[in-house]
Amino acid sequence: MLFLCLPFYLQAYSVIDYSFITKYEYGQMLYENPRGIGCNKCHGEKGEGKLIATYKGDKGNEKQLYGPKISNVTWEQFKHSLSQKENKSLFMPTYFLTNEELVSIHYYITNLKK
């Protein structure tokens, strides 16, 4: 009986079971698709920082908006920036990520091969 049920079990679980991918891969997946605009869009593929936009300032001078380098931020700093109450950024969207998801993303960006 157990034998017959097994294939169904495996099928049902394969959709949500992340145990087949590593913590690193899970972090990468979230970094690129964190239920919202991907972090890579503003911080670069490797968290190295990225020029997001250039625009004209008041005096017609060119200004630049950068997504800062984040591959070296400490866990405290990282958590602070991504917490919904403390993040008052004008540019960075607010995310609703769980602590476990934040741990994975932080692990990924700080362990990337340079």
Q: Which residues bind ligand HEC (CB under 6 A)?
A: 34, 37, 39, 41-43, 52, 67-68, 70, 73, 77-78, 81-82, 89, 91-93, 95, 105
CB of 100 to ligand HEC, least distance (A): 14
3-34: b (≥16 Cβ within 10 Å) or e: eeeeeeeeeeeeeeeeeeeeeeebbbbbbeeb
CB of 55 to ligand HEC, least distance (A): 13
Closest CB to ligand HEC among residues 93, 111:
93
Closest CB to ligand HEC among residues 9, 75:
75
Ramachandran sector of residue 113 (left: φ over 0; alpha: ψ -120 to 50; beta: rest): beta
CB of 5 to ligand HEC, least distance (A): 38
d(CA 103, CA 23): 9
